[in-house]
Chains A and B, each alone.
Chain A
Amino acid sequence: MDSSNTKMVAPPEGITGEGFFATKLNDVVGMARANSLWPLPFATSCCGIEFMATMASHYDLARFGSERVSFSPRQADMLMVMGTISKKMGPILRQVYEQMSEPRWVIAVGACASSGGIFDTYSVLQGIDKVIPVDVYVPGCPPRPEQIVDGVMKLQELVRSESVRRRSSPEYQELLASYNIQ
């Protein structure tokens, strides 16, 4: 086992003894969630092409437990918005987000999804955070696959340390209410 290059996810902190291991539920759930984030790609332009490279064998997002790309929002954990979102597309993106079940996370990949990018014009949404809450922003125009992987890893950190009760907290309800969701 020592000679193998395989790197497994480290178990959370806890107390080990003869035949038992005690730790916090938060940590176990967080570890499980963080290492099986099913992505829902919402690719509208060139950032989506970079995402294809990210999923392919060279960069291989499967190493992070995200190989199962879900094309249904109902079975996805992580909405990855890649590309320019026009204002006409805004309500559709929002509907996709609303169809995802909790817990759900959002990554805005690239300048357009994060801020509208170079498209400072009447028809383009100036960042998807105008319609849905975003957890991680990946800069770049388009970002390289390494940056997208970095964004996913940053999200994994968030997921790992998130309290299981966060989604029912008043702060979270307030956040959703500020976007008029639910």
Chain B
Amino acid sequence: MALENIEIKDQLVAAFGESVFNFQQEKDIFSFEIDAQKNAAIILFLKNNQDLSFHFLTDLCGIHYPDNDDEHQFAVVYHLHNWVENKRIKVKAYLNGTPEIKTISKIFLSSNWMERETWDFYGINFIGHPQLKRILNMDEMISHPMRKEFPMEDAGRTDKDDRFFGRTSINS
């Protein structure tokens, strides 16, 4: 018997009630949102529950939504995979303008580097992470470059004329 969406939903609602919501099938993946305060407990439940047993963290990443309201500026997305049933789910936790969320690096060791990467690029603070420092960018960098307000072009460029790269508004 394959693991059905409704069973996942029932188990989660029974355990966490209002903290898990907005269940929907998005294309081919079952998705829902969680209360960011309870992320560690919910992920631990998804991993350890006998029926659900989402034992594999496929991915963890951040998203920046500059146009959203203050409480939904950032999101952390967890992709989980149950290898036995071959069932994948997507868990999304929204964060406010000063993003902070509990680390899950003690639940999934693989999330250690993913959380560091998310910190590096989005500045999302993972509370309790054992070594939250930059992983891909230079240590000297002070900004978080995947935030939308960050300019993509290198500020130090001297030899590239905007006119030849289609970047000026007035074509004269």
Contacts and interface: CB of A to CB of B under 8 A. Distances in A.
Contacts, number: 37
Interface in A111-147: 115-116, 120-124, 126-127, 130
Given A88-B137, A88-B138, A127 B159 contact: yes
B158 A126 contact: yes
A123 B153 CA distance: 9
A127 B155 CA distance: 13
B160 A87 contact: no
Contacts of A124: 154
Contacts of A123: 136-137, 145
Interface residues of A, number: 12
Nearest to B157: A126
B38 to A, nearest CB: 35
Interface in B51-97: none
B138 A116 contact: no
A115 B150 contact: no
A122 B153 CA distance: 6
A25 to B, nearest CB: 39
Interface centre among A120, A122, A124 (most CB of B within 10 A): A122
Given A88-B138, A116-B154, A122 B159 contact: no
Interface of A: 87-88, 115-116, 120-124, 126-127, 130
Given A120-B153, A126-B157, A127-B159, 6 more contacts: A88-B136, A88-B138, A115-B159, A121-B154, A122-B145, A122-B150
Interface of B: 136-138, 145, 150-160, 165
Can you list the 10 inter-chain pairs with the closest CB atoms, starting with the nearest?
A126-B157, A88-B138, A122-B145, A120-B153, A87-B138, A126-B154, A121-B152, A122-B154, A115-B159, A120-B154
